[in-house]
């Protein structure tokens, strides 16, 4: 529904509502008055009819008494005289006159009413016939139609002593048709007038709004020269004037925005580049620095991050720098500043931004004016509802020499704070990402690489060895009777044993060697460019390092030993699964040989690699040698 329709409907509801309610009230009131008047007439007619019938009964009783008291010879003459005078229709002696007894009414059809007088042995009955003439006389006296009971409608008079007749009284209804017609005509006339007035008011109200909507549509289509006429200085006129003023100001704003369209496009390109380099910290910092330079009009800029162990600021990326800082980005990390010294070191140490003019310390980039703000990590509470921790300073973002020679103002400082906040989030997210990757590939208890990283590393080392014609030794190590350590000393002691065992493995390896915890008390070591002899030497050295130095835990000394299986690529396997399976079978052979030793895989295992990686023997008593095929399921857990 349009606004004009809603206004018209509202006006009609306001106007016609009271009119309709008033007409209904008048009609209901007239009907109620008619009902009350009819009830009053019925009450009057009832009283009149009862009085008339009672009078007739008294008249009949007087006639019967008059005949009964005269001598027998005169009774017939007196009776005829009373009938002739109309005091009774029929008078009989010693026999009932028929009809309804006034004193004793009874049910059934009624044709007459009678009164009796008993004198001695004589009974005189005077009766009055109940015919249409009798009823018409009652109707004329009562002002209502009187009929014997049986007609529909009206008030019913039941027989009773002194009123023996069952009668029905009806009063004609007075229907004020003319009044209803007048009310309907008034309502229709008011409705027509209200519709015409409502349409006129709605049109006069919505026409300026329609013009304003048309003008707004033109402006939305890009025609900023559109203006709205102001017909009257009322509220709608003031609205139109405000719209015209807004359009003029919008036109000026559009012109200003059009003038800087190229700059906005450049910023959008920079933002797109930022989004495409999510985890490349160097690219993110470069994009943020370029955007900050474009937004503030600075000539040069520098981003430095804090190296906490060294207590220094390390340059990450720079643009437009002069002097010894004018080097490629690959050489910028060689430029370092001590924390707490100079402008940049002071910003990093205190976390307070600085801006000013003049030469900086000799170690810092030369400039005429500068502004530097700290790069802080976002404060994230450890638990929901906890206050955010104080943000950690990660580095410094600095800009130098604003174009035009003006010094940096508060708006530049606020803008640079925004970019520094983005840099802080970027650095924080990249570090979180790197830490998440490290945690997903390392074992939290021992710090070694985990099972997930083992297979990827083994596949990569096998491919490298195959490509360069080198050898690769694989050692599978398993702590002997580790279940007994847990059962005897507790799981805390078991964790301590695993941690110390991992540390001794790291100590006994070269930098190029890689150690993994495959699961439980089982470990794997990759020895690039190592043959079987070298693998056996490393196995012997690791076994001695474990055997000769029991683990101390909580005042207890826990003796441990290790069994080791050694396999070499390509001698014992054509691919990484086969080599690992051969080392696993060699480990099982070392277990069967009495533990605390190592065994070298058999060359024949190359063609019998039915054991999958990680399918190792159980921690059980020495058993017969197991063939190169798959081992039974009961030997799959820790030894």
Question: Can you tell me whether residue 615 is helix, strand or coil?
Answer: coil
Number of domains the chain is built from:
4
Q: Of 210, 232, 256, which residue constitutes the final position of a domain?
A: 256
Q: Which of 329, 325, 277, 269 is nearest to 294 (CA)?
A: 269
Higher-pLDDT residue of 632, 162: 162
Model pTM score: 0.40
Same domain as 494, residue 563: yes
CA distance 19 to 24: 9
Residues 472 and 585 grouped into a single domain? yes
Mean pLDDT of the chain: 79
Contacts of 254 (CB under 8 A, 6+ apart): 224
C-beta separation of 553 from 573 below 8 A: no
Which pLDDT tens digit goes with each residue over 26-51? Answer: 888 878 888 888 888 888 888 898 88
Model confidence pLDDT, tens digit, residues 504-516: 888 888 888 999 9
Residue 639's pLDDT band, with cuts at 50, 70 and 90, is: very low
Comparing 176 with 313, the larger pLDDT belongs to 313
Give a yes or no: residue 186 inside a domain: no
Does the pLDDT at position 290 exceed 80? yes
Any idea what the CATH number is for the domain that residue 268 is in? 3.30.450.40
CA 536 from chain centre, in angstroms, equals: 64
Q: What is the mean pLDDT of residues 290-302?
A: 86
d(CA 510, CA 508) in angstroms, rounded, equals 7
Asked if 256 contacts 283 with a C-beta cutoff of 8 angstroms, the reply is no
CATH number of the domain that residue 519 is part of: 3.30.70.270
Q: What pLDDT is recorded for position 130?
A: 84
Q: How many degrees, rounded to 5, is the angle at CA 286 between CA 283 and CA 287?
A: 85
User: Does residue 498 sit in the same domain as residue 614?
Assistant: yes
Tell me which of 123-132, 352-361, 446-455 is least confident. Answer: 352-361
Q: How far apart (Å, rounded) are the C-alpha atoms in residues 524 and 530?
A: 15
Q: What is the pLDDT of residue 487?
A: 87
Is pLDDT above 90 for 475? yes
Q: Is 588 contained in some domain?
A: yes
Q: For residue 201, what is the domain's CATH number?
A: 1.10.8
d(CA 250, CA 219): 10
513-522 as b/e: b if 16+ CB within 10 A: bbbbbbbbbb
Sheet of 472-479: strand order equals 514-519, 522-528, 472-479, 562-569, 598-600
Q: Report yes or no on 55 lying in a domain.
A: yes
125, β-bridge pairs: 92, 116
Question: Within a domain: residue 535?
Answer: yes
pLDDT on residue 613: 38
Both 433 and 446 in one domain: the answer is no
Whether the pLDDT of residue 318 is over 60: the answer is yes
Judge whether residue 268 has pLDDT over 60: no
Q: What is the DSSP letter of 508?
A: T
Evaluate whether 168 touches 155 at the Cβ level (below 8 Å). yes
Domain limit, last residue, from 202, 226, 256: 256
On whether residue 219 sits in a domain, the answer given is yes
> Does residue 442 surpass a pLDDT of 70?
yes
Residue 178 falls within a domain, yes or no?
A: no
Residue 117 and residue 37 share a domain:
yes
Q: Which range of residues forms the domain containing residue 117?
A: 3-170
Nearest to residue 503, comparing CAs of 437, 443, 564, 583?
Answer: 443
Mean pLDDT of 517-526: 90
The answer as to whether 555 is a domain residue is yes
Element (H, E) at 552: strand 551-553
Per-residue pLDDT band for 579 (boundaries 50, 70, 90) equals very high
| Mean pLDDT (whole number) for 123-131 | 84
* Residue 385 pLDDT: 58
| Residue 472 pLDDT | 94
Query: Tell me: the pLDDT tens digits for 204-239?
Result: 777 777 777 878 888 888 787 888 787 777 777 778
Instruction: State whether 153 and 204 are in the same domain.
Output: no
Mean pLDDT is highest, among 26-40, 243-257, 283-297, 582-596, for 582-596
Indicate whether 226 and 133 sit together in one domain. no
Shared-domain flag, residues 585 and 508: yes
288 and 422 part of one domain: yes
Domain boundary among 170, 205, 240: 170
Q: pLDDT digit string (tens) for 375-401?
A: 988 765 555 555 656 678 889 999 998
In a shared domain, residues 196 and 282: no
Residue 183 lies in a domain: no
Same-domain status, 565 and 449: yes
Distance in Å from the first CA to the final CA of the chain: 83
Q: Do 197 and 143 belong to one domain?
A: no
């Amino acid at each position: 529904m349009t606004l004009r329709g809603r206004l018209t409907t509202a006006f009609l509801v306001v106007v016609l509502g009271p009119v309709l309610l008033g007409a209904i009230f008048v009609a209901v009131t007239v009907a109620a008055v008619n009902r009350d008047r009819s009830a009053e007439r019925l009450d009057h007619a009832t009283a009149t009819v009862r009085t008339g019938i009672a009078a007739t009964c008294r008249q009949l009783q007087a006639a019967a008494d008059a005949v009964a008291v005269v001598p027998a010879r005169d009774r017939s003459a007196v009776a005829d005289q009373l009938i002739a005078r109309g005091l009774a229709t029929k008078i009989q002696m010693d026999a009932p006159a028929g009809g309804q007894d006034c004193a004793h009414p009874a049910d059934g059809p009624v044709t007459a009413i009678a009164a009796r007088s008993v004198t001695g042995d004589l009974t005189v009955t005077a009766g009055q016939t109940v015919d249409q003439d009798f009823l018409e006389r009652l109707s004329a006296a009562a002002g209502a139609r009187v009929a014997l009971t049986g007609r529909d409608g009206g008030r019913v008079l039941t027989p009773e002593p002194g009123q023996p007749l069952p009668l029905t009284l009806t009063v004609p209804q007075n229907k004020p048709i003319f009044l209803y017609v007048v009310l309907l005509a008034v309502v229709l006339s008011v409705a027509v007038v209200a519709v015409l007035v409502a349409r006129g008011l709605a049109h006069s109200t919505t026409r300026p709004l329609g013009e304003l909507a048309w003008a707004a549509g033109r402006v939305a289509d890009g025609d900023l020269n559109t203006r709205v006429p102001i017909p009257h200085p009322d509220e709608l006129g003031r609205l139109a004037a405000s719209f015209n003023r807004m359009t003029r100001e919008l036109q000026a704003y559009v012109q200003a925005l059009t003038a800087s369209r190229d700059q906005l496009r450049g910023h959008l390109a920079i933002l797109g580049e930022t989004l495409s380099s999510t985890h490349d910290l160097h690219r993110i910092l470069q994009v943020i620095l370029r955007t900050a330079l474009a937004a503030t009009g600075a000539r040069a800029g520098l981003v430095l991050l804090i190296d906490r162990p060294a207590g220094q600021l390390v340059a990450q990326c720079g643009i437009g720098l002069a002097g010894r800082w004018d080097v490629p980005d690959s050489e910028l990390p060689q430029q370092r500043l001590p924390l707490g010294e100079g402008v940049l070191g002071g910003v990093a140490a205190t976390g307070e931004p600085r801006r000013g003019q003049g030469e900086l310390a000799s170690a810092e980039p030369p400039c005429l004016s500068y502004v530097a703000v700290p790069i802080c990590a976002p404060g994230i509470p450890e638990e929901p509802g906890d206050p955010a921790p104080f943000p950690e300073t990660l580095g410094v973002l600095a800009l130098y020499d604003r174009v035009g020679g003006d010094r940096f103002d508060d708006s530049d400082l606020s803008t640079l704070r925004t970019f520094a906040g983005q840099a802080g989030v970027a650095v924080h997210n990249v570090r979180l990402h790197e830490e998440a990757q490290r945690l997903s590939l390392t074992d939290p208890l021992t710090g070694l690489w985990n099972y997930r990283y083992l297979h990827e590393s083994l596949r990569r080392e096998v491919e490298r060895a195959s490509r360069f014609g080198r050898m690769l030794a694989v050692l599978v190590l398993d702590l002997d009777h580790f279940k007994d350590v847990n059962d005897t000393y507790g799981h805390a002691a078991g964790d301590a044993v695993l941690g110390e065992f991992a540390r001794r493995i790291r100590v006994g390896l070269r930098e190029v060697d890689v150690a993994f915890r495959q699961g439980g008390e089982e470990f794997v070591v990759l020895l690039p460019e190592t043959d079987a002899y070298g693998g056996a030497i490393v196995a012997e050295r690791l076994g001695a390092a474990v055997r000769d130095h029991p683990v101390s835990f909580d005042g207890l000394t826990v003796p441990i030993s290790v069994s080791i299986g050694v396999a070499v690529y390509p001698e014992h396997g054509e691919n990484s699964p086969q080599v690992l399976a051969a080392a696993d079978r060699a480990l099982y052979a070392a277990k069967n040989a009495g533990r605390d030793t190592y065994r070298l895989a058999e060359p024949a295992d190359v063609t019998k690699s039915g054991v999958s990686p990680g399918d190792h023997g159980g921690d059980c008593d020495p058993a017969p040698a197991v063939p190169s095929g798959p081992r039974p399921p009961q030997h799959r857990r820790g030894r």
